Structure 1
Amino acid sequence: MSINMGRVAEVQRFVIATGLFVITCFWIYRVAKWTVGRVPRVRRAVNAWNVRVAEKDFVPTATALQKLGLDGVPTEPFREAGKRDAATVRARYQLLMFAIGLGGADLVRSAVDSIDAQRMQGAMEPRALATACTVMPLLIWLARRSPSVARYRFLLSVMSAIEACEEVASSRPDDRHKALQRLDDSCSTVRRSLLKAHLIAGSTGRRSPRRRRAKGHAALVVAKLQMAEAEIDVRGNGALRGLAALLVKIGNGYAAGNVSNLLPEQSLRDVTAVPNREGMRTAAVVMVTAAALCSSALAGFPDVVIVAVTGSAALLSSIALFGARSATAKASELMGILWR
């Protein structure tokens, strides 16, 4: 197989241009954020907006706890935590989805034009597709890694799981399986977030001695959560109340900044920690997709084949490593952030 050096140079130019574009966008965002934060009137208006949105977001959770008979459970730390950045988190995700929607519309339009012209057009060309597949995941990653966004996103996932517990408890027998599926997806989101709690909190450095303890504690909390979920089919509504109460404790502990003490140590004594392979799975999907894109481009395949091979590699590797329902759970979580 001969290597097309022209393709190699094109890939190099694409990588450099994409990197510069991402860095430029990042610094424009940081400068705009710093500027807005320096204007007192704007800052006060944004703070009031955050409080209103946080109170509105917590109403369904408070109602669910009341229906489950847990209205006496302390939730003040949990409730207060979102008042710092609830509205700004939602605004960032809405802007992000608007950008993705524009790109998706362009992609659909280009696909139709490509079918009519029998060759790649606009956003369906390999360079445009590669840019979209690189820039958008990076922007999403930056949004998720932003401390304020990631923290409130975690609290929203806990609130969603609590509400799912009440939905199962109040569901009819014919609809119970659907409610249980939603509960499984919500708890799965919480478990994934718990395994990254040390990163979400932003309070432990990579070489901090507290980091290992935080990761080990999170693995134990996830195992405890799994045990509580497993009791639902045995104990029924009693187990649902126990699971909701456990979720409230986790939310309170996280909101108070106790990443290494989300649950009391005595409640975790007989629990075996679960392994965390989320990072390895994500890295594997990225590597498989990048390898498929670079290999097909360097081999000189036609544009149609490059697009098909890259897309198929990303889809199949994601399904194989994360499961077919993972995309549905992610979409449900995102919709909960945007339109709660």
Structure 2
Amino acid sequence: MNIDLERVAAIQRSVIGGVLLTGIAMSIYRFLAWVARRVRPLQARWLAWNARVAERDMEPTTEALQRLGLAGLPIQSFREAGQKTAGAVKLRYRLLTFAVGLGTGDLMMAVIKTIETQRVQPSLQPSALTLAAVTLPLLMWAARRGKAVAGYRLLLSIMSAIEACGAVATSSASDRHQALRHLDDTCSTLRRSLLRVHRIANSVTRRSPRQRKAKHHAALVVAKLQLAEAQVDSKGDAGLRSLAALLAKIGNNFAAGRASTLLPEQSLRDTAPVANREGLRLTVVVVVTAGALCLGVLLELPAGVDVVLSGSAAVLAAMVIYGPRSAIAKAGEIMGILRP
């Protein structure tokens, strides 16, 4: 079996080009953000805009707590945490959505022109497809990167779960099953984030002796959250109130900088920690994707087929490992971030 070295070199050039393109885009964004924070008139408007966005994000959560009879819960930490980053988070995701939409539109036009002219357009060449396959994941990673961005995303996940509790409490008998499934999806997304909360908060380094304790505490918190979710069916509205109160307590502690003490130790004494297999799942998805790409090169598949094969393998592996509902929940989370 011969290896097409020219094809391998083309893939390498596309990967390097994708990395450079992503680096240039993020450098421009960071430069403009740095200027906005340093020029006083722009800084004032930037802070005011973030505060307005944070307040709009809090309105549905506040209404949900009121419907659950928990209006007296302290949630000021949520507002304070979002006053500096809420707008920036939404801006990053809107720019990412614009880039994805622009690339998708270009590919669709290229497909139409290819069908009309019976000639493969430049956008459908293997090098262009590989460049897109590399650039898009890097842009998604860059959009989510950063302590402030990741931290506010976690708070948005907590707020979404609280709002889901309120939606279940006010749902009719015919719509309650859908509201409960939405509650499961939001809590599932939140649990995965909580298992890496020490990374999100950037409060523990990889070689720190505190890392094991932080991971153990996060696993206990997730187990406590699962127990509270399990009581929703048996306790009804009382279970929803308990779950919402627990979510608010976790969010307040995280917003206050207590990422390693999200819940009091005494409340976790009789709780067994959950197993964290997120790292293994992600590794499997990456290995399957890379293996499919290498297989396409070794089998000397037609130009462009290897990229489609690796992309399809990544999607299928993610659906098998995480489940299709997790993908839908993640899309719903992003749409929640983008809402006006």
Q: TM-score range by the shorter chain?
A: over 0.9
Unpaired runs of at least 5, structure 1: none
Partner of 1:132: 132
Q: Does the residue aligned with 2:324 lie in a helix, a strand or coil?
A: coil
Q: Does the residue aligned with 1:41 lie in a helix, a strand or coil?
A: helix
Decide whether the 8 Å contact of 2:64 with 2:162 is kept in 1: yes
Partner of 2:145: 145
Partner of 2:325: 325
Q: 1:281 offset after TM fit, Å? A: 1.5
Residue 160 (structure 2) pairs with residue 160 (structure 1): yes
Partner of 1:190: 190
Residue 54 (structure 2) pairs with residue 58 (structure 1): no
Residue 71 (structure 2) pairs with residue 71 (structure 1): yes
Partner of 2:208: 208
Letter in 2 for 1:27: S
Greater shift, 304-313 or 34-43, is seen at: 304-313
Residue 243 (structure 2) pairs with residue 225 (structure 1): no
Letter in 1 for 2:183: L
Letter in 1 for 2:319: I
Q: Deviations over 1:186-207 (max 9, x none)?
A: 1111111111211111222222
Alignment of 1:99-110 (within 5 A): 99-110=99-110
Q: 1:144 offset after TM fit, Å? A: 1.1
Work out the CA distance in 2 between the residues paired with 1:288 and 1:210: 33
Partner of 1:287: 287
Partner of 2:82: 82
Residue 283 (structure 2) pairs with residue 273 (structure 1): no
Q: Does the residue aligned with 1:231 lie in a helix, a strand or coil?
A: helix
Greater shift, 177-186 or 47-56, is seen at: 47-56
Partner of 1:2: 2
Work out the CA distance in 2 between the residues paired with 1:116 and 1:210: 61
Q: 1:169 offset after TM fit, Å? A: 0.9
Greater shift, 282-291 or 85-94, is seen at: 282-291
* Cα distance change, pair 234–27 in 1 and its aligned pair in 2 (3 A): same
Work out the CA distance in 2 between the residues paired with 1:325 and 1:99: 25
Partner of 1:301: 301
TM-score normalized by structure 2?
Answer: 0.95
Greater shift, 187-196 or 72-81, is seen at: 72-81
Partner of 1:17: 17
Decide whether the 8 Å contact of 2:126 with 2:307 is kept in 1: yes
Q: 1:163 offset after TM fit, Å? A: 0.6
Greater shift, 309-318 or 59-68, is seen at: 309-318
Work out the CA distance in 2 between the residues paired with 1:236 and 1:282: 36
- Identical columns (%): 55
Work out the CA distance in 2 between the residues paired with 1:329 and 1:134: 24
Letter in 1 for 2:329: A
* Cα distance change, pair 16–312 in 1 and its aligned pair in 2 (3 A): closer
Q: Deviations over 1:92-127 (max 9, x none)?
A: 111111111101111222222334455643333222
Work out the CA distance in 2 between the residues paired with 1:12 and 1:311: 17
Q: 1:275 offset after TM fit, Å? A: 1.5
Decide whether the 8 Å contact of 1:162 with 1:244 is kept in 2: yes
Letter in 2 for 1:67: R
Decide whether the 8 Å contact of 2:36 with 2:43 is kept in 1: yes
Q: 1:304 offset after TM fit, Å? A: 5.2
Partner of 2:240: 240
Letter in 2 for 1:331: A
Aligned alpha-carbon RMSD (Å): 1.7
Letter in 1 for 2:156: L
Q: Does the residue aligned with 1:325 lie in a helix, a strand or coil?
A: helix
Greater shift, 199-208 or 46-55, is seen at: 199-208
Greater shift, 179-188 or 7-16, is seen at: 7-16
Greater shift, 111-120 or 261-270, is seen at: 111-120
Work out the CA distance in 2 between the residues paired with 1:112 and 1:15: 26
Q: 1:32 offset after TM fit, Å? A: 2.7
Decide whether the 8 Å contact of 2:189 with 2:326 is kept in 1: no
Decide whether the 8 Å contact of 1:93 with 1:338 is kept in 2: yes
Partner of 1:112: 112
* Cα distance change, pair 112–10 in 1 and its aligned pair in 2 (3 A): same
Q: Deviations over 1:274-316 (max 9, x none)?
A: 1122222122212211221232134321125324422321221
Decide whether the 8 Å contact of 2:77 with 2:256 is kept in 1: yes
Q: Does the residue aligned with 1:3 lie in a helix, a strand or coil?
A: coil
Partner of 1:339: 339
Residue 43 (structure 2) pairs with residue 49 (structure 1): no
